[in-house]
Chains A and B, each alone.
Chain A
Amino acid sequence: MDGSRREFLKLAGLTAIGATGASSVRASGGASSATGGHAEASSDGVRLAMVVDLRKFSRDGSLAERCIEACHRAHNVPDFGDDPKNEVKWIWTEDFETAFHSQEFHFIREDLKGKPTLLLCNHCDNPPCTRVCPTQATWKRDADGIVMMDWHRCIGCRYCVVACPYGSRSFNWKNPRLGLEDIDINFPTRMRGVVEKCTFCEERLARGQQPACVEVCSNDEIVFGDLNDPGSKVRQLLAERMAIRRKSGLGTQPEVYYVIDDPRTLQEFAPAAVVDGAEGGDHA
């Protein structure tokens, strides 16, 4: 994983520089939004995105749970047990069909059907949540496209929760510390009365680390990187595979992609020699 680590450190560096001025990012990153498959890219510089490979996830039954665990532990996300009313979550799973319910998947492959699918904040390029916030307590960072939250400023009106088409935001109906046994000192908890959500681990990126959920994935089950960099892993994966996004028709431009195809089906379109070579083996 040396290559990806290197890509990561580069990314983190860019994020830190980018925060002080987008121009420096452009100079060093050399990114060009015009070349991208990213539809109507509006931001220059770094555009962070995540690609979740659902086929790989379906092979490892407990991986999604481990991602959730790592995230919620790193960010002191409270656990109120079986209490959906007060629930707070940054990343969670739904059945594949529920996650993409507006697409109405029927009669689909067994390895997708009903499979737990990781959901989190999409860090939309055109986020409806930041548009409605009356205090700019949530906004999209110009430098890298992360949809941030300022928990010092949030007034708890929940308009952003209402505006999010993905159910990615949680409100602290009560003191979150009541649902925390161990608190990680490196990250604050929240207080009752504010909204919270995934921040793409911007605090870890700043320290040169990968997002907590990505770090758990040892086999590129989740790939994270700069969508504006044609050489990045996310771009490579999107160029090679078939990926979908949640409710893409709303124009929010979600930046979490889900790879749904089986790489073996690609072989049908590949040159005959390759198909012949691969046909015999794995068809489990």
Chain B
Amino acid sequence: MYDAGKIIVGLLVFVALATSPLWFNALFGESPAAPELKLPTNGSTECVEARDFMVANHMDLLNQWRDAVVRTGTRDYVSTLNNKTYDMSLSRTCMDCHSNKTEFCDACHTYLAVSPYCWDCHVEPKGAD
């Protein structure tokens, strides 16, 4: 290999630079306070599935709901938590309780720097913010 030394040094420099945000934060950064989610104010105490499941898997569940409604025309979801039947709808079911997008959805998504495209089309309830 030609210029092996230069290439290896170059690669090391690149890796160091590319991972610099991680190092920098680990050494000097203060981790920002974990977001506080605003719980439903309409008296509802349980979600369509268990809390921990929802925290970890709500995005997969939403994708399942999306495909069920749009592609197979199925709209009823039977919860494994309480056997209740729910309408598989982001704006009518989820946001019926979690009506404040800014304080619920965005709080976490902003913290984690993810930007799901749900609200490019789906509409949050009015007067929520």
Classify A-B as touching or not with yes or no (CB < 8 A).
yes
Contact bitstring A63-79, B, C-beta under 8 A = 1, else 0: 00000000000001000
Contact bitstring B8-35, A, C-beta under 8 A = 1, else 0: 0000000000000000000000000000
Please determine whether B70 and A185 come into contact, CB atoms closer than 8 angstroms.
no
Given contacts A185-B91, A185-B126, A186-B92, contact A206 B121 (CB under 8 A): no
CB distance from A77 to the nearest CB of B (A): 13
Given contacts A185-B91, A186-B91, A191-B117, contact A20 B123 (CB under 8 A): no
Name A136's closest neighbour in chain B (CB-CB). B71
Return the contact of B73 from the options A19, A183, A184 (Cβ within 8 A).
A19
Given contacts A16-B75, A206-B75, contact A183 B70 (CB under 8 A): no
Contacting residues, chain B, for A189 (C-beta < 8 A): 121, 123
The distance in angstroms between the C-alpha atoms of A4 and B67, with both chains bound, is: 31
Contacting residues, chain B, for A184 (C-beta < 8 A): 123
Given contacts A185-B125, A185-B126, contact A206 B73 (CB under 8 A): yes
Whether, in the assembled complex, A96 has its beta carbon less than 8 Å from a beta carbon of chain B, the answer is: no
Please determine whether A141 and B73 come into contact, CB atoms closer than 8 angstroms.
yes
Interface core residue of A15, A141, A143, A152 (most chain B CB under 10 Å): A152
The distance in angstroms between the C-alpha atoms of A19 and B75, with both chains bound, is: 10
Within B34-87, the residues touching A (CB, 8 Å) are: 66, 70-75
Within A12-45, the residues touching B (CB, 8 Å) are: 15-16, 18-20
Whether, in the assembled complex, A150 has its beta carbon less than 8 Å from a beta carbon of chain B, the answer is: yes
Please determine whether B123 and A185 come into contact, CB atoms closer than 8 angstroms.
yes
Please determine whether A152 and B73 come into contact, CB atoms closer than 8 angstroms.
no
Whether, in the assembled complex, A245 has its beta carbon less than 8 Å from a beta carbon of chain B, the answer is: no
Whether, in the assembled complex, B129 has its beta carbon less than 8 Å from a beta carbon of chain A, the answer is: no
Point out residues on B near A: beta carbons under 8 Å: 66, 70-75, 91-92, 117, 120-126
Given contacts A18-B73, A76-B123, A143-B73, 15 further A-B contacts (CB under 8 A): A15-B73, A19-B72, A19-B74, A20-B72, A20-B74, A150-B70, A152-B70, A184-B123, A185-B125, A185-B126, A188-B121, A188-B122, A189-B121, A191-B117, A206-B73
Point out residues on A near B: beta carbons under 8 Å: 15-16, 18-20, 76, 141, 143, 148, 150-152, 183-186, 188-191, 202, 206
30 contacts between A and B (CB under 8 A): A15-B73, A18-B73, A19-B72, A19-B73, A20-B72, A20-B74, A76-B123, A141-B73, A143-B73, A148-B71, A150-B70, A151-B121, A152-B66, A152-B70, A183-B123, A184-B123, A185-B123, A185-B124, A185-B125, A186-B91, A186-B92, A188-B91, A188-B121, A188-B122, A189-B121, A189-B123, A190-B121, A191-B121, A202-B73, A206-B75
